[in-house]
Amino acid sequence: MQDLHVLVAGAGIGGLTAALALQRAGIKVSVYEQAPVLGEVGAGLTLASNASRILRHLGLGAVLDDLAVVPERGAVKHYRTGRTLVDIPRGTTQVERFGAPYCQIHRNDLHQALVAAVRSAAPDCLRLGCTLEDFGQDERGVTALFANGRTARGDLLVGCDGIRSTVRARLFGTEDPRFTGYVAWRGLVPMERLSASLVVPDSAVWIGPGHFLTRYKIRRGELLNYIAIARTSSWVEEGWSVRSTVDSLLAEFRDFEPTARSILMATPPDQCFKWGIFDRDPLPAWSAGRVTLLGDAAHPTTPFLGQGAAMAVEDGMVLARAVAAAGTVEEALARYEKARVARANGVLVASRENGLNLTTTDPDRYDEAAHRNEESLDLASYDAVTVAV
Ligand SMILES: Cc1cc2nc3c(=O)[nH]c(=O)nc-3n(C[C@H](O)[C@H](O)[C@H](O)COP(=O)(O)OP(=O)(O)OC[C@H]3O[C@@H](n4cnc5c(N)ncnc54)[C@H](O)[C@@H]3O)c2cc1C
């Protein structure tokens, strides 16, 4: 198995974490990404202790220390009054409890760090402009076919190609993702546009009927990232780069208290985006023969627990350990699924449920007992570096 060659389709957070963990285990990897160039797309990601622990283990501790923000406290607030309904200790408390910090980072900062790390282990392992279209497999290996006419031969193919995964469609059918009934705006506000008193504590969410707003600092505290979510009956576009306007966002969140609205109002016009939130029903299995799924391709998860990227990171770590521990590819994938399917599907369902909890519970009655997060659901203690595979 040490001579194995693993093909990874998709260089998102999941594909790159898997590639880095496989490289660290001494296994050859080639990563194929459809994008011709890697640009700065997206905004904030939450990395609870269960995710930051893995990235540190893989050697990215210095990048997290430099660029991620570790909030000292979090708060759940009442949308109309701004009253704190739940106070959440983060910072050193989380490190003491879980051995790694809860942190928040610009997706692009993490993405660039992963790209640099996999390239430094193997300079030519990342191939851009390669859209996987199909694959074939036999008892000796798997062949990937790309839209540009190239092919690649390996022992194992990992579909890390996101919510609209081609690998998933080939394995399990072409059903479209499910519109969850939520539309989300995301924005990035430079902190110099805000007075510091508007951002206390440094991580917070507001809950109101059918509406939810979360905001937190990223990139050394230079930027404030927010996601503002509203329930809707109409279908909304997918994608991370669909532009919106601050006026339409303010109209939707007109009942929110002045502090929350001041943050939205400070959004630079070119930094307001809108997208529909989609997920899929859990799959009971992710693999067939020498091909498997990872991250959003396997279990696209809504943002209501801040665990979507964390699940992809956990998958990558566990897959590499399963491959390193197994005698055959089939055994590796059986070990991977045994360790991961129930966990990731459980988080997918819990995140859906938490969306309802946050947008339908009467904020006047919302308290610590009603609140669900990575700690109350015991998600943060999971250790993908040591869990049995
Ligand atoms: C551009 C972008 C911006 C995002 N911004 C945010 C954000 O601001 N906040 C947030 O919480 N989450 C964001 N996400 C989602 C978040 O990164 C993922 O939900 C999570 O990290 C799981 O990652 P993943 O690697 O499984 O999937 P993704 O991050 O979706 O990565 C999938 C990768 O596969 C590539 N790909 C797709 N199809 C093919 C194919 N056929 N062949 C080859 N490559 C293919 C895609 O280009 C992409 O690079 C973003 C995702 C993307 C792709």
Q: Count the residues in the chain.
A: 389
Pocket test for ligand 1, best of 240, 280, 314 (most atoms within 8 A of CB): 240
Q: What is the pLDDT of residues 345-384, one digit of tens each?
A: 999 999 999 999 999 999 999 989 898 988 889 999 999 9
**306 ligand 1 Cβ < 6 A:** no
For the chain, list residues with pLDDT below 50. Answer: none
**187 ligand 1 Cβ < 6 A:** no
- Give the position of tokens 């579909």: 159
| Consecutive H or E run containing 322 | helix 308-325
Q: What is the pLDDT of residues 235-258, one digit of tens each?
A: 767 676 778 899 999 999 999 999
Is there a contact between 254 and 304 (Cβ–Cβ < 8 Å)? no
- Distance CA(262)–CA(276), nearest Å, equals 24
Q: What is the pLDDT of residues 218-230, one digit of tens each?
A: 999 999 999 999 9
- Predicted structure pTM score: 0.96
- Give the position of tokens 């590796």: 332
**296 ligand 1 Cβ < 6 A:** yes
Choosing from 79, 102, 182, 216, which is the catalytic residue? 216
| Consecutive H or E run containing 133 | strand 132-138
Q: DSSP letters of 161-174?
A: --TT-HHHHHHH--
Is there a contact between 77 and 130 (Cβ–Cβ < 8 Å)? no
- Which residues are paired to 105 by β-bridges? 45
What's the 127 CA to ligand 1 centre distance in angstroms? 16
Alpha helices in 138-285 (DSSP H): 166-172, 246-252, 258-265
* 85 phi and psi angles, rounded to 5 deg: -95, -35
Q: Which residue, among 24, 285, 28, 290, has the nearest Cα to 157 in the 3D structure?
A: 290
**295 ligand 1 Cβ < 6 A:** yes
- Which residues are paired to 154 by β-bridges? 142
Is there a contact between 106 and 186 (Cβ–Cβ < 8 Å)? no
**Is 216 one of the catalytic residues?**
yes
Residues 6+ apart with CB under 8 A from 230: 182, 183, 184, 210, 211, 212, 252, 253
Q: What residue owns the CA closest to ligand 1's atom 35?
A: 10
**13 ligand 1 Cβ < 6 A:** yes
pLDDT at 41: 80
**Under DSSP, is residue 91 helix (H, G, I), strand (E, B) or coil?**
helix
**46 ligand 1 Cβ < 6 A:** no
What's the 55 CA to ligand 1 centre distance in angstroms? 18
- Distance CA(280)–CA(348), nearest Å, equals 9
- Distance CA(127)–CA(124), nearest Å, equals 7
Q: What residue owns the CA closest to ligand 1's atom 50?
A: 42
- Distance CA(332)–CA(319), nearest Å, equals 8
- Which residues are paired to 30 by β-bridges? 7
Pocket test for ligand 1, best of 111, 160, 224, 278 (most atoms within 8 A of CB): 160
Atom of ligand 1 nearest to the CA of 301: 19
Token representation of residue 17? 């974490």
Q: How many CB atoms lie within 10 A of CB 327?
A: 8
pLDDT at 270: 87
Average pLDDT of every residue of the chain: 94
Is there a contact between 34 and 9 (Cβ–Cβ < 8 Å)? no
State the number of CA atoms in the 13 A half-sphere of 20 facing the CB: 30
What's the 13 CA to ligand 1 centre distance in angstroms? 7
Q: What residue owns the CA closest to ligand 1's atom 5?
A: 42
Cis status of the peptide bond prior to 201, with omega within 30 of 0: yes
Is there a contact between 307 and 6 (Cβ–Cβ < 8 Å)? no
**Under DSSP, is residue 39 helix (H, G, I), strand (E, B) or coil?**
coil
What's the 217 CA to ligand 1 centre distance in angstroms? 21
Q: Which residue, among 218, 307, 380, 337, has the nearest Cα to 14 in the 3D structure?
A: 307
Is there a contact between 126 and 31 (Cβ–Cβ < 8 Å)? yes
**107 ligand 1 Cβ < 6 A:** yes
